[in-house]
Amino acid sequence: MKKVNAYGAKASDADLEAMNIDRRDILPNDVKIEIDYCGVCHSDIHQVRNDWGNSKYPVVPGHEIIGHVVEVGDEVKNFKKGDLVGVGCMVDSCQECDACKEDLEQYCENGMVATYNGQDKHLGGHTFGGYSEMVVVREKFVLKVPENLDTAAVAPLLCAGITTWSPLRQWNVKKGDKVGVVGLGGLGHMGIKFAHALGAHTVMITTSPSKAEDAKRLGADEVLISKDEDQMKKHQGSFDFILNTVPVGHDTNPYIALLKRDATMTLVGAIDEVDVHGGGLVMGRKRLAGSLIGGIKETQEMLDFCGEHDIVSDIEMIDMQNINEAYERVVNSDVKYRFVIDMKSIKN
Ligand code: NAP
Ligand code: ZN
């Protein structure tokens, strides 16, 4: 066991602060990773502030981890010292249930182990995430990172990337489809890039008119301001698919009205109550769905796609010490479009 520097919160109303955490000694299947960068996801904030009511303290967040391998266990086959690697939202799962056998570890029937706030099978207590110097992870949950991309800007792909990629693939978004992405934050900006790269006619649906220009630069063909009722009316019944990244409970009805007959809107953000009027779904056989991150195999496919198509996140790099200000900006929808922590700063 080794003590390493980390940043975490000791209570739901506390700021994040420097602390020490334990990391296990490597097991035969483990990879030890020195962390170079870690993205800041809105889920980190939800967990720190106990928005979902299941946080365990201290919370050391971070599930968009990029680093390099410093040591591997005796049975590790796919990684060696020096490799550039990533770790996303999961660090383990049972590997035996139907979900795991179908490469859908995120839906493991025995419960996947989340990168932070999961149950730590090795040290007891709960897992600690990537706001730290180093992490030890089972090989199966370590991703290969394409070497041709800006390393820091790859970090958000491990959560924001896969969480938007997976539903776009699952609902078969293709060339010519009209696809909406609701919310231009960390997830939304990746949703726009991917929908565009898959050939869809991509529409950014935002509450923030000030983000319109950026949305187009990121790949949106059109921008729809959701607070403008006339604009919303014009687009009614015209979307083949909508990816909704709104981070809180909200009225989904105006967005459902945008769908064509038989089309689907998938929620990835709101993990609480949303308002849905049955009539909005019934009159048009529409579907409201949900999606959780993506499996390890699919995450690797997404990273490889990004390597081939030169896709990364648009990031603002921060030092670890500025994390509390960054959280305030995310909560105020003022992030362009993902904060990434330069983990060198944690050693200062
Ligand atoms: P983010 O960077 O804060 O972006 C969310 C965006 O949603 C905001 O920038 C804003 O965009 C829009 N928005 C905020 N409040 C809104 C409201 N009340 N009504 C309408 N739009 C609103 O957050 P993120 O990191 O992308 O994460 C989004 C959500 O996904 C979070 O709840 C996070 O926990 C969740 N998440 C889920 C998964 C999963 O597997 N399902 C994975 C990762 C994250 P505009 O200014 O453009 O309106
Ligand atoms: Zn996340």
> Which atom of ligand 1 is least distant from the CA of 160?
43
* pLDDT of amino acid 347: 80
* Residue 166 and residue 298 in contact, taking contact as beta carbons nearer than 8 Å: yes
pLDDT at position 117 over 90: yes
In this prediction, residue 270 carries a pLDDT of: 83
57 and 94 share a domain?
yes
Q: What is the CA(187)–ligand 1 centre distance, in A?
A: 7
CB environment 240-269: b (16+ within 10 A), e (fewer): bbbbbbbbeebebebbbbbbbeebbbbbbb
- Whether residue 218 sits in one domain with residue 151: no
Ligand (nearest to CA of 190): 1
Total domains, the chain: 2
Q: Say what the pLDDT of residue 348 is.
A: 62
Residues 67, 204, single domain; the answer is: no
Q: Report the predicted TM-score, pTM, of the whole model to 2 decimal places.
A: 0.97
CA distances for 337 relative to 21, 192, 281, 316, angstroms: 29, 12, 32, 7
Distance CA 83, CA 85 (A): 6
- 155 and 271 housed in the same domain: no
pLDDT above 80 for 341: yes
**pLDDT per residue over 245-299, tens digit each?**
999 999 999 999 999 999 999 999 988 899 999 999 999 999 999 999 999 999 9
Where does ligand 1 bind, in terms of residues with CB under 6 Å? 41-43, 46, 159-160, 163, 183-188, 206-208, 211, 245-248, 250, 268-269, 291-293, 330, 333, 335
Q: Give 45 Cα–ligand 2 centroid separation in angstroms.
A: 10
Q: Which residues touch 11 (CB under 8 Å, ≥6 apart)?
A: 57
Give 32-73 pLDDT, tens digit per residue. Answer: 999 999 999 999 999 999 999 999 999 999 999 999 999 999
Residue 20 and residue 78 share a domain: yes
Q: Which of 51, 112, 187 to mutate to test the pocket of ligand 1 (most atoms within 8 A of CB)?
A: 187
Verify that 74 and 210 share a domain, yes or no. no
- Please give the distance, rounded to the nearest whole angstrom, from the Cα atom of residue 29 to the centre of ligand 2: 25
pLDDT for res 249 = 95
Q: Report CA(217)–ligand 1 centroid distance (Å).
A: 20
Which helix (H) or strand (E) segment holds residue 331: the answer is helix 323-331
Q: How many CB atoms lie within 10 A of CB 203?
A: 24
For residue 209, the domain's CATH number is: 3.40.50.720
pLDDT 10s digits, 186-215:
999 999 999 999 999 999 999 999 999 999
